[in-house]
Amino acid sequence: MKPQAPAEIRGEFKPISTNVPGIQICEHFPELSKRVDRLAIVRSMTHGDVNHTSATHFLLTGQAPPVSRDRLVQWPHMGSVLSRLGRGHGALPPFISMRPKLENDVPRFVEESQGQFAGWLGPAFDPLTIDHDPNRSDYRVGELVLPPELSASRLENRAQLMSELNRQLEMQIPAAVARNASYQQAFDLLTSTAVGRGAFNLDDEPAAMRDRYGRNPHGQSVLQARRLIERGVPLVTVYWPSDGIKNVSVYWDTHSRNFIDLKDRLMPPADQAFSALLDDLAERGLLDETLVVWTGEFGRTPRVGQRNSDAGAGADGRDHWPGCFTTVLAGGGVRGGMVYGRSDRHAAWPEENPVLPEDLVATVYHLLGVPREQTLPDVQQRPLQVRPGVAINDLLA
């Protein structure tokens, strides 16, 4: 917020005080304003990529995106690294992504964005991706329920037969190893008591809890993430869904109607779900051991209507702006009630403590217990260092 800047910079929104003296945030985050004592607000994130699909690679991996869009040359998502390191327990996958696809959505950013998968670690360490809308009454995760005519014993017999066949195939086709690992994971999920206890059954939650997160795709995705985390899944990524409403900005990509869409469509569900998650984790005794990171791939232009990419901006919009933006962290070893970094008077560039994506990712890896010198082999068995940058000590509790 830049309340003292000219109107074309500060925009229509006003700052409000929070429960931490001296820290203000936007008036349309009233619930988060009561919980800033739990937040570490990094206001000096910066990089130089104005494209959605490649800038995402920076924030999810800490590495510059490769020229090729081939997944096998991209760097691995942090969740894939945890998966390769053997984190997690039980049948539930160690890395799950919530990417709800809605009616009339615009999927290109989600489908094409780099850094979401295992990259050079190989597809065996890709996330379980959940595309179904968890706010729907018929929400389900793939085919994780056995049909009535197929007993667990028959499924086990099929699995043993497939295993024998696959062993022969793996000797001839190396790529079959990753595919067979996925098959085994699917069998484990189908027969797992963890899934049977309802990891993906949001109807097990009290109606009041579902209401608390918000009866919308984002709110229910965040609730689903909490259910997975408390069952031992090491990392869950929640992507914002595109509702595809005609003449409305896609995701938070407010090239037009910036203030209308933020106020009416985007900020209220974000405020509700993030606040509910913080409270829910704290009440369950999980917040201290669960790191929550909320970020986009870049920010928006300091000046309303300013053009900074091929997409441009309307008179009431803001274009892409990677020069300075904000990331918020909470829980999991992070100091709460603090602001790190400062932007210049127009919120265009960092003026104090600039933070590159690799340093944010290094901080996350540090809090997840991944050592700085950690290496993992790529698909050609070459050892590559997975942790970039330098952890930001001032953010650590």
pLDDT at 184: 60
Which candidate, 200, 204, 227, places its Cα nearest to that of 145?
200
pLDDT at 101: 86
86-95, 186-195, 307-316, 334-343 — which is least confidently predicted?
Answer: 186-195
SS3 letters across the chain: CCCCCCHHHHCCCCEEECCCCCCEEECCCCCHHHCHHHEEEEEEECCCCCCHHHHHHHHHHCCCCCCCCCHHHCCCCHHHHHHHCCCCCCCCCCEEEECCCCCCCCCHHHHHCCCCCCHHHCHHHCCEEECCCCCCCCCCCCCCCCCCCCCHHHHHHHHHHHHHHHHHHHHHCCCHHHHHHHHHHHHHHHHCHHHHCCCCCHHHCCHHHHHHHCCCHHHHHHHHHHHHHHCCCCEEEECCCCCCCCCCCECCECCCCHHHHHHHHHHHHHHHHHHHHHHHHHHCCCHHHCCEEECCCCEECCCCCCCCCCCCCCCCCCCEECCCEEEEEECCCECCCEEECEECCCCCCEEECCECHHHHHHHHHHHCCCCCCCEEECCCCCEEECCCCCCCHHHEC
Q: CA-to-CA distance for 140 and 166, rounded, in angstroms?
A: 29
pLDDT at 155: 55
Question: Rg of the chain's alpha carbons, rounded to an integer?
Answer: 22
pLDDT in tens, 379-395: 889 999 999 999 999 99
pLDDT at 144: 61
β-sheet bridge partners, residue 16: 25
- Domains of the chain, by residue range, sit at 7-141+200-395
Split at pLDDT 50, 70, 90, the class of 50 is very high
Over residues 14-30, mean pLDDT: 98
pLDDT at 238: 97
pLDDT in tens, 207-243: 999 999 999 999 999 999 999 999 999 999 999 987 7
pLDDT at 41: 98
CB contact burial 51-85 (16+ within 10 A = b; e otherwise): bbbbbbbbbbbbbbbbeeeebbebbbbbbbbbbbb
Domain 7-141+200-395 part of CATH 3.40.720: yes
